[in-house]
Amino acid sequence: MAESNEKLAGIAEKLLIGQFHRHVFLCAGDACCAGVGREAAQAAWDALKDILKEKHLSLATGPCACYRTKVGCLRVCTGGPVMVVYPEGTWYGNMTADRIPRFVQEHLIEGKPVEEWVFARNPLPTADA
């Protein structure tokens, strides 16, 4: 049976969906992470989760509030873990756990992408444009 929109809206409210300024997608898929291995991909995801929580950026409000999603493929399929950050559309490669603290501090908190790790850009138009 399909869930009601009311139930889904309640879940979204608990997750603070509607409050976020950024959304980070991290790919832990086997193809792009073949060079580092599945454990390293999971370690990157765990590091992202832990640091966002520690810095009070997830399940948060304010200009640095960030939603995170682990995905199975972003269609790049090499040089992983691959990550993309919206709305800027900043694409990062080789985002292993050791890179996550600097990424969170410089990009998500200070608003300055870590240029030497960026391999592509695709900023999205704002929804109200």
Query: From the CB of 81, what's the least distance to ligand FES, in Å?
Result: 7
* Beta pairing class for 66-71 and 22-27: parallel
Stretch that binds ligand FES, among 25-33, 43-51, 61-69, 118-126 (CB under 6 A): 25-33
CA dist 28 → 15, 22, 31, 58, 81 (Å)? 22, 19, 9, 19, 6
Nearer to ligand FES, 14 or 75 (CB): 75
* Residue 27, helix vs strand vs coil: strand
Q: Which residue is nearest to ligand FES (CB)?
A: 29
Binding site for ligand FES (CB under 6 A): 27, 29, 31-32, 73-77, 80, 82
